[in-house]
């Protein structure tokens, strides 16, 4: 009995050591065909919602967001666009070192008033998936002028449908309408169609993926936990959701640095 306890303790210590070792490696090198940059990388796609002082999991405080962006900046991370990610995934085009894709869902006003100044301070850009029916119509969400200004400063805007309905709950016609309507509204307001889509509530299935592809989007993002890499399905790209918690920074750090192994071991789930 005692011996078994010791063995379990040793195994736990070994597992912890492996986790710590892995957490020190910024981008995991995986086996496979070599591209010009000499290694295959997996890119963390961070997923935020609100940056505000609301005591809900979807809202991290401006101070917490600043702390996280500061960490990325001090540790040599470079924010990339979805085009850069897809050019890498499709053609093996070179990425900057320690690439990270920072994304926001829903298009809350605080993305402009709170997150945008912090991102600018550290020289980062982000990708925001907006619900077109809410833009300019609900004071809690972004306006088209704010979106235009952020676009001029390198931010990318994608679609999160017209009405934030999980498209797996809709019939094919209604689902297609959500995808095309949001795309048309964005094209009218911004001059170009959105190339990227994020599934409301993360809900997707084969049919939803096929529809998103047929409507003309280049790729789509889920909230399935993990990093984007060569094995990713381009219409169901993994992300790393970041929530408020009692240990927000520690949780951010482990999710960022050790996502693949923690996911495999079942330690972190959405």
Q: Which stretches of the chain bind Zn ion, using CB under 5 A? A: 105-106, 200
Burial of 211 (C-beta count, 10 Å sphere; 0-12/13-18/19+): buried
Burial of 203 (C-beta count, 10 Å sphere; 0-12/13-18/19+): middle
| C-alpha span between 103 and 49 (Å, rounded) | 8
Least distance between Zn ion and beta carbon 247 (Å): 24
Least distance between Zn ion and beta carbon 105 (Å): 4
Least distance between Zn ion and beta carbon 210 (Å): 21
| C-alpha span between 150 and 130 (Å, rounded) | 13
- Looking at the Cβ atoms of 114 and 258, the one nearer to Zn ion is 114
- Looking at the Cβ atoms of 57 and 260, the one nearer to Zn ion is 57
Asked if 164 and 131 touch (Cβ cutoff 8 Å), the reply is yes
- Looking at the Cβ atoms of 99 and 212, the one nearer to Zn ion is 212
The residue of the chain with the least Cβ separation from Zn ion equals 105
- Looking at the Cβ atoms of 104 and 252, the one nearer to Zn ion is 104
- Looking at the Cβ atoms of 52 and 105, the one nearer to Zn ion is 105
Asked if 30 and 227 touch (Cβ cutoff 8 Å), the reply is no
Nearest to 135 by CA among 114, 157, 120: 157
Least distance between Zn ion and beta carbon 111 (Å): 12
Least distance between Zn ion and beta carbon 201 (Å): 6
């Amino acid at each position: 009995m005692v011996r078994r306890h010791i063995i379990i303790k040793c195994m736990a210590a070994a597992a912890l050591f492996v986790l710590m070792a892995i957490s020190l490696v910024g981008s995991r090198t995986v086996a496979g065909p070599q591209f010009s940059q000499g290694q295959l990388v997996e890119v963390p796609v961070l997923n935020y919602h609100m940056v505000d002082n609301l005591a809900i999991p979807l809202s991290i405080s401006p101070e917490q967001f600043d702390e996280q962006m500061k960490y990325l900046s001090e540790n040599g991370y470079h924010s990339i666009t979805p085009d850069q990610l897809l050019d890498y995934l499709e053609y093996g085009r070179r990425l900057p070192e320690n690439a990270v894709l920072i994304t926001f869902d829903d298009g809350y006003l605080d993305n402009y008033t709170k997150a945008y100044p912090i991102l600018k301070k550290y020289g980062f850009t982000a990708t925001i998936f907006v619900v077109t029916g809410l833009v300019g119509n609900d004071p809690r969400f972004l306006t088209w002028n704010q979106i235009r200004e952020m676009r001029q400063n390198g931010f990318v805007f994608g679609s999160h449908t017209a009405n934030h309905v999980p498209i797996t709950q809709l019939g094919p016609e209604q689902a297609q309408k959500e995808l095309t309507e949001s795309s048309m509204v964005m094209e009218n307001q911004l001059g170009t169609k959105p190339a990227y889509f994020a599934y409301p509530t993360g809900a997707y299935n084969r049919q939803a993926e096929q529809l998103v592809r047929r409507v003309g989007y280049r790729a789509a993002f889920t909230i399935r936990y993990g990093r984007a890499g060569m094995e990713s399905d381009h219409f169901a790209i993994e992300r790393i959701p970041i929530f408020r918690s009692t240990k927000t920074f520690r949780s951010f750090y482990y999710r960022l640095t050790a996502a693949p192994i923690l996911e495999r071991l079942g330690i972190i789930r959405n």
